[in-house]
C-alpha cells in the first residue's frame, strides 16, 4: 500500500514530534523532498500531551496548529505513521533505511465521523493519557491528531468487535486485511528526532511511585489539568478522587543522580513552576503548591517566569531533596520526610498529592542507531560532536530541551541535512 518515492537526495526525518515536524518543514520549504516517519498513529509527540506551554502558558494547539497547516500545504513531505526504523545502512549521501509499518486497519477514506468508535464496546488503556483512562478500541488518538483518521487497536482484530466497526463505517474506510509492511527507504541524510520518555519513576524506590496512589509524575499531572484528560481538567487525586489542593512538587526526580540519570533534564524546574499555575488557576488562594528543590534552574530568559511564581503567595519553596515518602493510611496523604538546606530543619510534611518532576530519557538509545557512526553520550542522547554519519540529532533525541530549544536544534539539523543532499545533487549533475 505505502508507495514511497525516495532517492539519495531525499531527507528522512525519524520522529514526528515538534522537532521532527520542524526539521521536515524547514527542509521541504527549502525545496527538498522529505519522508517523515512517526511510530505513533499521529504526529505531535509529547508536546500534544501538555496542557499548557511555558513560558507563555498558551495551549499546545498554538505551535502545533501552525506546523500542521504548513505540513498540509506542502507536497514535498511524505508522512508515514505507525512506522518505526528497524535498521539504517549505508553512508553519508547514500542511506538505505528499513522501516516497519504497522497496520492501522483504517484507510484514507476515513472522515473521522466516529461511527466505528460508537459501534465498538471493547476498551483499551489510553496511551495519550498515560493510561490514566480508557478509550474505545476504535479511536482517534487525540483531538488534534494528524492525520485525522481513526485507528483500530490490534487486540480486536479477528474478533466480532472489528466486524462491528467495519459494519458501522459508511465510507468503506475499514480494511481488516491490512498487514504489517517492511519498506526500504533511500535517503541522502537522516534527521533523528525520536524525542524523549519520562524516566521510570518506580525506580526511585524511596518515593514509592509504585506503592503510594497519590504520588504521580509530572507528565500525568499535565493530563489531569487538561480538559481532554482523564478527569476532565479537574485536579483529582487517584486514591479517592478528592480535589488535590495542597500539591507538592519534587524536583530532580531521577535527574542529577548517579543512581539514575546523570544529567540535569533542564526542563523540569520550569515544568513544575508552570504547574503551580495550574493549581492557582483551579483553586485561586485556596490552592497551595510546595516545590522541593536542590536549586531552581530556570535558564536564561525563564528567570522572569521564576520570579513571577516566587511572588505568588500560595507557592512555597523548600530547598531540600526529599529523602523519602510514606503514606498516611488514614487519609491517603503522602508524607514527605527530609531535612532542608536553609537551617537544616527536619520536616515531615503531608500533602494531598505529590508530583514527581521526572527526568527526560532519550526514547532511543543513540548507540544502537548505527553503531560506530552515531555516537551516544553518557545518557544515550546523540552526541552531535562525535557522530560521523549524516545522521543529525534534533530536539530531545540530542539533549534534554524545552520546545524553543528543541525547535532551534531541529532547524540546525535540517540545515546540516540539506548541505549533505546538496552535495549529492551537485555530484550527480
Ligand X SMILES: Cc1cc2nc3c(=O)[nH]c(=O)nc-3n(C[C@H](O)[C@H](O)[C@H](O)COP(=O)(O)OP(=O)(O)OC[C@H]3O[C@@H](n4cnc5c(N)ncnc54)[C@H](O)[C@@H]3O)c2cc1C
Residue with Cβ nearer ligand X (233 or 332)? 233
Residue with Cβ nearer ligand X (15 or 208)? 15
Strands (DSSP E) contained in 68-169 are 77-80, 83-91, 94-101, 123-125, 134-136, 138-139, 151-152
Crossing angle of helices 303-311 and 268-283, rounded to 10° = 40
Q: Please give the C-alpha separations between residue 326 and each of 30, 44, 132, 259, 289, in angstroms, as whole numbers.
A: 56, 37, 23, 21, 19
**195 vs 207: CA distance, rounded Å:** 26
Residue choice 37, 79, 174, 424 for contact with ligand X (CB under 6 A): 37
- 324 makes contact, choosing from ligand SF4, ligand X, another protein, none, with CB < 5 to 8 Å by partner type, with another protein
Provide the β-strand partners of residue 429.
Answer: none
Assess 378 for contact with another protein (CB under 8 A).
Answer: no
What is the 3-class SS of 195-239, one letter each residue?
CEEECCHHHCHHHCCCCCCCEEEHHHHHHHHCCCCCCCCCCECCC
Question: Rule CB under 6 A: which residues touch ligand SF4?
Answer: 251-252, 255-256, 264-266, 268-269, 297, 357, 359
Termini Cα distance of the chain: 32
By the 10 Å C-beta count (0-12 exposed, 13-18 middle, 19+ buried), 68 is classed as buried
Positions in 268-307 near another protein (CB under 8 A):
294
- 264 makes contact, choosing from another protein, ligand X, ligand SF4, none, with CB < 5 to 8 Å by partner type, with ligand SF4
Assess 141 for contact with ligand X (CB under 6 A).
Answer: no
Assess 323 for contact with another protein (CB under 8 A).
Answer: yes
Residue with Cβ nearer another protein (103 or 338)? 338
Assess 252 for contact with another protein (CB under 8 A).
Answer: yes
Assess 6 for contact with ligand X (CB under 6 A).
Answer: no
Residue with Cβ nearer ligand X (196 or 283)? 196
Assess 200 for contact with another protein (CB under 8 A).
Answer: no
- Chain centroid offset of residue 99 CA: 21
Residue choice 126, 265, 320, 398 for contact with another protein (CB under 8 A): 320
Crossing angle of helices 403-428 and 18-29, rounded to 10° = 40
Residue choice 197, 228, 282, 337 for contact with another protein (CB under 8 A): 337
Residue with Cβ nearer ligand X (169 or 230)? 230
- To ligand X, the closest distance from the beta carbon of 164 in angstroms equals 29
Residue with Cβ nearer another protein (134 or 203)? 203
Evaluate the omega torsion of the peptide bond into residue 148 and state whether it is cis, within 30 degrees of 0: no
Residue ranges that bind another protein, judged by CB under 8 A: 206, 252, 256-260, 294, 320-324, 337-341, 344, 346
Amino acid at each position: 500500500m505505502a508507495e514511497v518515492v525516495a532517492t539519495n537526495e531525499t531527507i528522512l526525518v525519524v520522529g514526528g514530534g515538534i522537532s521532527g515536524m520542524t526539521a521536515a518543514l524547514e527542509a521541504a520549504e527549502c525545496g527538498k523532498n522529505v519522508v517523515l516517519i512517526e511510530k505513533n498513529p499521529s504526529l505531535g509527540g509529547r508536546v500534544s500531551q501538555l496542557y499548557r506551554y511555558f513560558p507563555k502558558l498558551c495551549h499546545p494547539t498554538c505551535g502545533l496548529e501552525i506546523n500542521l497547516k504548513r505540513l498540509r500545504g506542502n507536497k514535498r513531505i511524505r508522512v508515514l505513521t505507525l512506522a518505526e526504523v528497524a535498521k539504517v545502512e549505508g553512508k553519508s549521501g547514500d542511506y538505505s533505511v528499513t522501516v516497519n509499518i504497522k497496520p492501522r486497519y483504517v484507510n484514507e477514506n476515513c472522515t473521522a465521523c466516529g461511527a466505528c468508535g460508537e459501534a465498538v464496546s471493547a476498551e483499551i488503556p489510553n496511551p495519550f493519557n498515560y493510561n490514566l483512562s480508557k478509550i474505545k478500541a476504535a479511536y482517534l488518538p487525540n483531538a488534534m491528531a494528524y492525520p485525522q483518521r481513526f485507528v483500530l487497536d490490534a487486540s480486536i482484530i479477528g474478533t466480532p468487535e472489528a466486524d462491528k466497526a467495519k459494519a458501522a463505517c459508511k465510507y468503506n474506510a475499514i480494511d481488516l486485511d491490512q498487514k504489517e509492511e517492511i519498506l526500504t527507504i533511500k535517503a541522502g541524510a537522516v534527521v533523528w528526532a525520536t524525542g524523549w520518555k519520562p524516566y521510570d519513576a518506580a525506580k526511585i524506590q524511596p518515593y514509592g511511585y509504585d506503592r503510594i496512589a497519590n504520588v504521580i509524575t509530572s507528565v500525568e499531572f499535565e493530563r489531569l489539568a487538561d480538559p481532554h484528560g482523564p478527569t476532565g481538567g479537574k485536579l483529582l487525586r487517584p486514591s479517592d478522587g478528592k480535589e488535590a489542593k495542597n500539591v507538592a512538587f519534587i524536583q530532580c526526580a531521577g535527574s542529577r543522580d548517579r543512581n539514575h540519570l546523570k544529567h540535569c533534564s533542564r526542563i523540569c524546574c520550569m515544568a513544575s513552576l508552570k504547574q503551580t499555575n495550574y493549581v492557582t488557576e483551579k483553586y485561586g488562594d485556596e490552592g497551595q503548591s510546595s516545590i522541593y528543590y536542590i536549586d531552581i534552574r530556570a535558564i536564561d530568559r525563564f528567570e522572569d517566569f521564576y520570579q513571577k511564581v516566587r511572588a505568588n503567595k500560595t507557592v512555597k519553596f523548600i530547598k531540600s531533596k526529599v529523602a523519602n515518602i510514606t503514606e498516611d493510611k488514614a487519609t491517603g496523604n503522602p508524607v514527605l520526610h527530609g531535612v532542608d538546606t536553609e537551617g537544616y530543619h527536619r520536616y515531615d510534611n503531608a500533602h494531598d498529592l505529590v508530583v514527581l518532576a521526572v527526568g527526560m530519557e532519550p526514547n532511543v538509545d543513540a548507540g544502537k542507531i548505527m553503531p560506530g557512526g552515531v555516537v551516544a553520550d553518557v545518557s544515550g542522547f546523540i552526541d552531535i560532536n562525535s557522530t560521523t554519519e549524516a545522521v543529525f540529532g534534533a530536539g530531545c533525541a540530542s539533549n534534554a530541551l524545552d520546545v524553543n530549544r528543541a525547535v532551534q536544534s531541529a532547524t540546525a539539523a535540517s540545515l546540516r541535512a540539506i548541505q549533505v543532499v546538496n552535495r549529492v545533487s551537485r555530484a550527480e549533475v
